[in-house]
Structure 1
Amino acid sequence: MPVPTKTIKTSLFAAAAAIAAITPATAHNHQHHHASQAQTPNIVETAVSTGVHQTLVAAVQAAGLVETLSSPGPFTIFAPTDTAFAKLPEGTVATLVKPENKGTLTGILTYHAVAGRVTASDLTTLIKSKGGEATIETVAGGTLTARLSGDTIVITDAAGRATAVTQADVDTSNGVIHVTDGVFLPG
């Protein structure tokens, strides 16, 4: 069932602020505890540390996906920034993070995940080998379409919305993150 598009921003930002207040302390303790090991952070730890993915982290926590995205994977995650989430119609995020919408939220978040470690170079090679357009299957089961616009990888979701990868190949211990300037919606 589609979530009313007029309903996301306020609550999600409140949730993000609450999580941001809790999570950095945990991340700091974790880093302090393992400081001598110089361990590469996982996808969730990396998203927490960027400062521009608070909404995504809040959504991942609301969907109960922290453990999954902290597992060995590997995963490729297209990670919308807080600004990307803010582009959604007002109230959308607030509605999605409500417990009764956990299934819908999980579906949207897993639509941003691909099994395996897919680098920008892998994507570029695939796009070129497929004549300029490659279809990628997501963990959610839906597909995304990848194209090149100059040197920029552009991902189009099932609803035809195009989103640019603004920062590629953020390496993590259990996969790779590609930062996007938009949120993918499955339909």
Structure 2
Amino acid sequence: MYALLVLCMLVVAAAAQSTTVPTSNIIDLLTTRRLTTLLNLIQQAGLTDTLKGPGPFTLFAPSETSLGNLDATDTAKVTALMKYHVANGQYQRADLYNEESLTSLQANQSIRVNYYISKGVITIEGQAIQSSDHVLSNGVVHFIKGVMMPPAGTVLDVVSKDGNLTTLASAIKSAMLDNFFQDQKPITLFAPTDDAFNKLGSATVQGLIADPALLKSVLQYHVVPGTIYRAAFRTTYLPTFEEADKIRIHNFFFFGYEADDGGMVDDELSATNGVVQRIDTVLIPSSLSDQVKALTAGATTAA
């Protein structure tokens, strides 16, 4: 009888504990963890009282290391960036699904969620969640790997604004793919840099420009359906919009990533309809290789 009484008391205590509402707020958690860089930026952005308030909010908290690389001299930019890391509403890990769009505190800027089941990885605007579901009185905190950068327009906008993708921007226009890169979603573009086109050779580039149909197929080979950030990369083959060929993605653990034989350079760039991954080589699908080689051969013969 005594044992039964003790068991009942333990069950009641456990139930009471499980329904206890946290009394700490978001700022309390950050303070307890001594995340001084993040706290200072939140203070600079005028968000301290907000994140002490009733909420509910979801804070995607970047690592202190990644925040240390930010230029904090421009308060307006800091404010916009910190607001972008806070979503209205409480979203625990179980609430997050692929291509979900969360409303941030930064006006007209939504936050993209991607859930890569094959790797068990959830990314928030490309940054992997490293520690999740820190539930508090006014919301929840997820700790993410790095700083999220808001999308700078569509994939077409991102390419057009990048000073290292000028040849690609011209090629997209020549192939009449402007609307495709503006409207198609979600997509991942493996974007050859200007140096990549230089490696291909001016004769081949000019030949492609003169053959819009072939150029279109080559460019579509650089596009994969879905938003695929590097946190989700694994060695695999992915379908492309060129359809006849698949692109090979390879993850070199400590040495970076490749799309076919094109190494990825610089940071990935979020877009409102996907992501841009810059690469150092123009990729030629096997089904089109003979046609592309013929461009160079024809130019050599004509010379």
Structure 2-normalised TM-score?
Answer: 0.43
The higher radius of gyration belongs to: 2
Aligned match of 1:155:
259
Match of 1:140 in 2: 242
- AA in 2 matched with 1:50: D
Aligned to 2:229: 119
Contact 2:190 2:259 (C-alpha < 8 Å) held by counterparts? no
- Find 1:175's aligned residue among 264, 267, 274: 274
The more displaced of 104-113 and 168-177 is 168-177
How many correspondences in the alignment? Answer: 137
| CA shift for structure 1 position 89 | 2.8
Local SS of the residue matching 1:103: helix
Report the residue type matching 1:82 in the other structure: D
Q: Give, in angstroms, the shift of residue 168 of structure 1.
A: 4.2
Indicate the structure whose relative CO is greater, using CA pairs within 8 Å and at least 6 residues apart.
Answer: 1
Distance in 1 between residues matched to 2:247 and 2:256, nearest whole Å: 16
Distance in 1 (alpha carbons) for counterparts of 2:206 and 2:247: 25
Aligned partners of 2:224, 2:166: CA distance in 1, in Å? 21
Q: For the aligned residues, what is the CA RMSD? A: 1.7
Q: How does 1:55-134 map to 2 (within 5 A)?
A: 55-98=167-210, 101-123=211-233, 127=234, 133-134=235-236
Distance 1:121 1:168 in 2: 12
What stretches of structure 1 of length at least 5 have no aligned partner?
Answer: 1-35, 128-132, 157-161
Return structure 1 stretches of 4+ with deviation > 3 angstroms: 36-40
* Residue type at the aligned position of 2:248: T
Gaps of 5+ in 2: 1-106, 110-150, 287-303
1:37 to partner: Cα distance: 5.9
- Give, as a single letter, the amino acid of the residue that structure 1 aligns with 2:259: I
CA contact (8 A) 2:187 2:226 kept: yes
Equivalent AA in structure 1 for residue 257 of structure 2: I
Match of 2:153 in 1: 41
Contact 1:120/1:168 (<8 A) preserved: no
> 2:191, 2:198 → 1: CA distance?
14
